[in-house]
Amino acid sequence: MNRPAIVIIAYNRPDALKRLLTSVENASYPEGDKVTLVISIDKSDSDSVVRVAEEFEYTHGDKKVIARQQRLGLREHVLSCGDLTDEYGSIIVLEDDLFVSPMFYDYACAALEFSKGDDRIGSVSLYNHLFNVHKREGFLAIDDGYDNYYLQIASSWGQAYTKEMWTGFRNWYEENKDAELAGPDIPANISGWSERSWLKYYIVYMIRTGRFSIYPRVSLTTNFGEMGTHSSKHDTDLQVPIMNSRIKKVYSFSSPDDSKAVYDAFFEPAGSYAEGKVVFGGSEIADRGNKKPLITDLYGLKPVEAVTGGAYILSSKSLPYRVIKSYGRQMRPLEANMIYDIPGSDFYLYCTSEKDAAPKTGNEAHELLYEYRGISVSRMISMIKYRIREKFNGN
């Protein structure tokens, strides 16, 4: 059986690479199968990363070190590594500041096999988001009984592709690599990313073609967030719990139709509206019967002020339309407040065909206390002082 190759992307972080390689070596692999490891190293002023790669002992199959002779930059480096799907059929891609679960390979194989033949699945993520990177607030996918959910965000913190997945993106990229990656359907945070980013192209590809990444409920990777091409400081914002010693032979995956946990590029749940009832889930996205498509804006980041034409909007913003219903911010995740009909004034269901006075939404302090549980005044002051020192490079 052809097994996915593991492709590690490295540049100038020898200690991070050694840590990642150690976790890869210690992971679980199919008994009797050989798994190829490729370490691709972009050109830098030091040979320390190449030394780490060449000296590391990998015991689960062949090891291949690619030391680039010219500096590619992150975008071209990742693209060239993705093109290895032509050689290996499917690959798992890991950047050097990651750490993998012992079960990462088992899960990746299962998710890739499940995704075959479904053109709506544009990539496999090994990372589980617990953080909305646009709003810098917590994110949690609603539990629907499956081992996965769907998100229109491609992952750069542990991902896998079949040749068909990568080829679909590559063909789109060649036609759109000079296009402007902006618009109301694209989060402003993504549009503002550096031109060195390959990820912004993959995310826009999925938005514009209606594809999603399949994400795990329990992460198979975690991110150390060390200084690098896209990070100027070390932090723990992106550290998440990883699946440890659980040996799971069978995963229960949902299709995009069956899933009740489908999220767009803004981390907003897909849903519909019918007779005052909000329904979330992939099978409810289309306008079926009396169900109407719903624009969800729970994080308040979408440009919903420009929406007209009688659309229904569920938002944390104060908008000048008739309020059908309002909800509180108490249960977790956010959409649980609508599912269980929790009253309050934090989220409003609007009908844009009827103008009305804009209601008063929940205040920022309430939102902050919801986000940061158990925070005291003294701890808040300490945190502010730390951030100020950090900003000005203090000690």
Query: What are the extents of the domains in the chain?
Result: 5-223, 268-355
Cβ of 287: how many Cβ atoms within 10 Å?
A: 10
Q: DSSP E strands: which ranges in the chain?
A: 5-10, 37-41, 63-67, 90-95, 98-100, 121-125, 131-132, 137-138, 148-151, 159-162, 212-216, 221-223, 262-263, 271-274, 277-280, 292-297, 312-315, 321-327, 347-355
Give me the pLDDT at residue 356, please: 95
Which residue, among 218, 104, 210, has the nearest Cα to 160 in the 3D structure? 104
What was the pLDDT predicted at 230?
45
How far CA 288 is from CA of 273, 274, 283, in Å, comes to: 10, 10, 10
The pLDDT value given to residue 343? 96
Q: Nearest 5°: CA angle at 19, between 14 and 21?
A: 90
Torsion of CA 259, 261, 267, 271, to 10 degrees: 80
pTM, 2 dp: 0.93
pLDDT of residue 125: 98
What is the reported pLDDT for 234? Answer: 62
One of 3.30.450.40, 3.40.50.10680, 3.90.550.10, 3.90.1150.10 is the CATH number of 5-223, namely: 3.90.550.10
Residues of the chain short of pLDDT 50, as ranges, are 229-231, 283-288, 395
Cα separation, 155 vs 152, in Å, equals 10
DSSP 108-142: HHHHHHHHTT-TTEEEEE-----EETTTTEE--PP
pLDDT at 291: 62
**What tokens appear for 365 in the block?**
């302090």
Q: What confidence score (pLDDT) does residue 375 get?
A: 80
The per-residue pLDDT for 52 is 98
